[in-house]
Amino acid sequence: MEDIFQGYKGRALEVLKKFNVRVWGKAIIDTSRGEFQGTVLPRAENDDDTHIVLKIATGYNIGIDIFTIKSMKEVGYYKATYKIPEKEFPYTPNLPNVKLLGTGGTIASRLDYRTGAVIPAFSPGELYGAVPELADICNLTTEKLFAVFSENMGPEQYKALAVAIGKEIENGIDGIIIGHGTDTLSHTAAALTFMVQNPPVPIVLVGSQRSSDRPSSDAALNLMHAAYTAGHSDIAEVMVCMFGPTSDEYGFLHRGTRVRKMHSSYRSTFRTIGDTPLATVNLKDGIKPIKETYNHRRKDRKVKVLPYFEEKVSIVYYYPNMQPDIIDSLVDNGYRGIIIAGTGLGHVNKPLYSAIERAKKKGVHMFMTVQTLWGYAHMYVYDTGRDLMAKGIIPAENMLPETAYIKLGWVLGQTDDPEEVKRLMLTPINDEITLREPYNGYLIYQGGVPEVEEFIRKFRK
């Protein structure tokens, strides 16, 4: 049965029932603050139970305090159907075939009244209705694999995605887009880099920082850039495609293993760390490579899918005065791998030594990364580093902590042999460890410095 009091609970629900007024009912409400008229809207589930939401004639929403209500009368009923106009996605013979795999996220979305949040719109028809330019770029088909927020993505989803990608490649697709929330987009990108090796076509992860229910959303442009990359790019790798600058100018293609979300809300939040992005993309100039070497698109269908993951792996972000029980509790809880994000060149304090030794004895695999994000773990420089290595911690070079976490989970899903684990961890699959760090790989502009200010003023941000 349809819920005619959508989202209302407790005292507000009692009031609606008492006066026999439904959600979407047009109501005249007499209150101690005067008369109000409008359509009763659903209420967000987490909001209180002492107000009723009304859409008034001018289109605004207001809340009515139920304690002021003297009487209510339903005088009409109009239920809104919120639907992105669905038009059949046109097929164009000479355009590449691209598959969009959905995981959730807000690449295209609509409002949900119960939570006040946005719900993804997804079918090719809906996407075409929202972003008609897509039809000029590729022939798009879609499949919704899951509908989860970014933070709920995990090993099960990584594995299912890898298998689905393998199947699409086998079926001859020209490129794959994965729609994804941005919070853990880079984790998934790393996982897919390890699980789907040697792909013959681009695999492009894309999201949006501003939900697509707003006119200035980055969603449409990101989606167009991703579709263009998936369909036309020569780069056959797992990539993240998101805004380069915050302006509507071009997107970056980041390697799945070196990319990180660096701002909680900026559009240009994704950055390649310790290296340069692979390329830029926009619809006017196409793909412009920045990196000279990358894996090229191929005609064959030889892809290696390795959907493995050991879930008992953790990251420990070191802080001063960390106590050994942090490590002990992981070991006691059966964790088999620990990535440490250490200070400076890869350090932790002395009190942890005993816990580390104990973990090593129990066969826990431990790797050191750096919380500076940029730079390598160099554990020979100071005694502490040497001590830690002697106790069994292996420096993971310049692998990003999150990438190392994903990789260790993936490795431990395949083997428990310490030598093999070490070999797999330190053998890069796609630049999660780089041999060299280029000088333009570390660029954090310090605002306020005259030359930076001049640069910023000259180029669109």
Token digits of residue 218: 């980055």
141 C-beta neighbours (distance < 10 Å), count = 16
Q: 403: number of CA atoms within 13 Å, CB side?
A: 32
Nearest approach in angstroms of CB 264 to another protein is 8
What contacts 445, CB < 8 A, 6 or more positions away? 452, 455, 456
Nearest approach in angstroms of CB 70 to another protein is 13
Q: Whose Cβ is closer to another protein: residue 319's or residue 459's?
A: 459
Nearest approach in angstroms of CB 367 to another protein is 35
Q: Whose Cβ is closer to another protein: residue 66's or residue 176's?
A: 66
Residue from 14, 65, 325, 417 touching another protein (CB under 8 A): that is 65
Cβ burial 185-219 (10 Å sphere, 16+ → b, else e) = bbbbbbbbbbbbbebbbbbbbbbbbbbbbeeebbb
Token digits of residue 404: 């190392």
Active-site residue, 293 included: no
- How far is the C-alpha of 217 from the C-alpha of 211, rounded, in Å? 6
Q: Say whether residue 83 binds another protein (CB under 8 A).
A: yes
Nearest to 270 by CA among 248, 295, 245: 245
Q: Say whether residue 427 binds another protein (CB under 8 A).
A: no
What contacts 275, CB < 8 A, 6 or more positions away? 255, 258, 291, 431, 434, 437, 438, 441
Q: Say whether residue 71 binds another protein (CB under 8 A).
A: no
Q: Say whether residue 92 binds another protein (CB under 8 A).
A: no
Token digits of residue 447: 């605002």
- How far is the C-alpha of 160 from the C-alpha of 147, rounded, in Å? 13
Residue from 3, 14, 82, 171 touching another protein (CB under 8 A): that is 82
- How far is the C-alpha of 155 from the C-alpha of 228, rounded, in Å? 28
Q: Say whether residue 114 binds another protein (CB under 8 A).
A: no
Nearest approach in angstroms of CB 316 to another protein is 30
Q: Say whether residue 75 binds another protein (CB under 8 A).
A: no
Cα angle 96-98-103, degrees, rounded to a multiple of 5: 170
- Positions in 193-232 near another protein (CB under 8 A): 209-217, 220-221
- How far is the C-alpha of 365 from the C-alpha of 295, rounded, in Å? 31
* 3-state SS, residue 231: helix
Token digits of residue 453: 């200010």
Q: Whose Cβ is closer to another protein: residue 118's or residue 306's?
A: 118
> Site size for another protein, by CB under 8 A?
61
Residue from 116, 154, 200, 375 touching another protein (CB under 8 A): that is 116
- Positions in 153-192 near another protein (CB under 8 A): none
Token digits of residue 68: 């002021």
Token digits of residue 148: 């989860």
Q: Say whether residue 233 binds another protein (CB under 8 A).
A: no
Active-site residue among 106, 193, 280, 434? 106
Q: Say whether residue 81 binds another protein (CB under 8 A).
A: yes
Active-site residue among 182, 193, 229, 369? 182
CA torsion through residues 150, 153, 159, 161, sign: negative
Residue from 58, 94, 333, 446 touching another protein (CB under 8 A): that is 58
Per-residue binding letters, 390-419, with another protein (x by CB under 8 A): ------------------------------
Name beta bridge partners: 317.
341
Q: Say whether residue 449 binds another protein (CB under 8 A).
A: no
Residue list, annotated binding site: 150, 182-183
Nearest approach in angstroms of CB 140 to another protein is 18
Q: Which residue blocks in 20-154 are alpha helix, DSSP H?
A: 124-130
Q: Say whether residue 103 binds another protein (CB under 8 A).
A: no
Q: Say whether residue 84 binds another protein (CB under 8 A).
A: yes
Q: Say whether residue 380 binds another protein (CB under 8 A).
A: no
- How far is the C-alpha of 342 from the C-alpha of 349, rounded, in Å? 10
Residue list, annotated binding site for substrate: 150, 182-183
Q: Look up tokens 């809207």; give the residue.
A: 41
- Positions in 243-302 near another protein (CB under 8 A): 245-249, 263-267
Q: Look up tokens 């933070």; give the residue.
A: 151
Active-site residue, 182 included: yes
Nearest approach in angstroms of CB 382 to another protein is 38
What contacts 241, CB < 8 A, 6 or more positions away? 204, 205, 206, 222, 225, 226, 229, 251, 252, 253, 254, 281
Nearest approach in angstroms of CB 357 to another protein is 45
Residues at the interface with another protein (CB under 8 A): 31, 33-36, 47-48, 50-51, 53, 56-68, 80-85, 110-111, 113, 116-118, 209-217, 220-221, 245-249, 263-267, 453, 456-457, 460-461
Active site residues: 106, 182
